[in-house]
């Protein structure tokens, strides 16, 4: 299968603070890949660096064989690498429909209307509420809108930063089922950062685990889910010490806003 995304030795700093270092990652077309890790592990930094929101200090991001590191976020988006950011970030005073329209701002083609229809098929609740202000949607509906808006950019690789944040277990499962359908029906590859390791490992093909800005494990999700240290640190099987042996707290459940 074709390699869609190849990340080599990526390193990103915030001023004097190093957030990620030596990150290598590979994602093949049509795959669902998850990145797991504790608070502050560098997951959001990784996605923001891939999306061109932050420039890396060093390393390479090859998307479709072309280097995209250092490009502006809108150019990266235009090439098909699209991020639905952490915390949804919908435009609260715009309607659902207009929020979805904003997702297509990099496009000039005639397929936008058909794609809007497709988003409404995946998320019927967004169709029902298309005229409503986005800020008045429930948390789960806003998450659907954030994913729908990213889909309107017609991604080849859709990156989702904690889609289950603040959602009930049932809604989390529903969101992951829809993520699976989107991949199956369109072939879109998906890179999903998650706090809910059990759900992510059950729905993704391949997984990476980050600790303190580095990748410490990478494997097929079913293999990862069987590893004793992964079970212990990430699947609630005991004292969370992390795979690298450094004591750290596992995710405290973040609530939205
Ligand atoms: N804008 C920023 N300025 C300075 N430091 C930052 C900034 N954003 C993140 N950091 C630091 O970089 C590190 C990685 O943060 P990041 O947000 O990527 O982690 P994360 O894995 O997404 O965490 P969470 O699970 O809590 O979302 C942390 O130590 C964090 O404090
Ligand atoms: Mg984060």
The alpha carbon of 83 and the centre of ligand 2 are apart by a number of angstroms equal to 13
| Calpha distance 24→54 (Å, rounded) | 17
The alpha carbon of 114 and the centre of ligand 2 are apart by a number of angstroms equal to 32
* Any atom of ligand 1 within 6 Å of the Cβ of 37: yes
* Any atom of ligand 1 within 6 Å of the Cβ of 39: yes
In this structure, the number of other CB atoms found within 10 A of the CB of residue 76 comes to 22
The domains of the chain, with CATH numbers, are 3-234 (3.40.50.300)
Q: Which helix (H) or strand (E) holds 99?
A: helix 96-103
| Calpha distance 257→81 (Å, rounded) | 26
| Residues 81-107: tens digit of each pLDDT | 999 998 778 999 999 999 999 999 888
The pLDDT of residue 255 is above 50: no
List residues bridging with 62 in a β-sheet.
6, 67
Rounded mean pLDDT, 178-201: 95
| Residues 143-166: tens digit of each pLDDT | 999 999 999 999 999 999 999 988
3-state secondary structure of 19: strand
The alpha carbon of 232 and the centre of ligand 2 are apart by a number of angstroms equal to 22
| Calpha distance 11→21 (Å, rounded) | 4
The pLDDT of residue 250 is above 50: no
Instruction: State the pLDDT confidence band at 245, using cuts at 50, 70 and 90.
Output: low
Quick check: 218 and 8 in contact, CB under 8 A? no
Specify the residue for token string 């930094």: 45
For the whole model, what pTM was predicted? 0.92
Instruction: Sheet containing 66-67: give its strands across.
Output: 17-28, 3-14, 58-63, 66-67
Rounded mean pLDDT, 23-38: 96
The pLDDT of residue 13 is above 50: yes
Instruction: State the pLDDT confidence band at 249, using cuts at 50, 70 and 90.
Output: very low
Specify the residue for token string 């490992």: 201
| Calpha distance 200→172 (Å, rounded) | 10
Quick check: 226 and 196 in contact, CB under 8 A? no
């Amino acid at each position: 299968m074709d390699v869609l995304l190849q990340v080599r030795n990526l390193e990103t700093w915030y001023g004097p603070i190093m957030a990620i270092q030596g990150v290598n990652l590979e994602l093949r077309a049509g795959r669902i890949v998850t990145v797991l890790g504790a608070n502050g592990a560098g997951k959001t930094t990784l996605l923001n660096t891939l999306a061109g929101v932050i420039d890396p200090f060093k390393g390479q991001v090859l998307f479709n064989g072309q280097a995209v590191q250092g490009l502006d976020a809108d150019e990266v988006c235009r090439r098909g690498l699209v991020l639905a950011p952490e915390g949804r970030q919908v435009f609260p005073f715009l309607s659902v429909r207009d929020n979805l329209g904003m997702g297509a701002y990099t496009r000039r083609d005639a397929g936008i209307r058909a794609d809007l229809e497709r988003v409404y098929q995946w998320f019927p609740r967004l169709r029902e509420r298309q005229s409503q202000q986005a800020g008045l949607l429930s948390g789960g509906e806003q998450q659907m809108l954030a994913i729908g808006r990213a889909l309107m950019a017609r991604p080849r690789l859709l990156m989702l930063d904690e889609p289950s944040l603040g959602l009930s277990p049932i809604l989390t499962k529903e969101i992951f089922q829809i993520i699976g359908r989107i991949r199956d029906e369109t072939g879109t590859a998906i890179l999903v950062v998650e706090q809910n390791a059990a759900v992510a490992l059950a729905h993704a093909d391949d997984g990476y685990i980050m600790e303190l800005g580095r990748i410490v494990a990478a494997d097929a999700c079913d293999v990862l889910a069987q590893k004793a240290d992964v079970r212990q640190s990430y699947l609630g099987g005991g004292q969370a010490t992390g795979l690298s042996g450094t004591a750290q707290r596992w995710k405290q459940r973040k609530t939205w806003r």
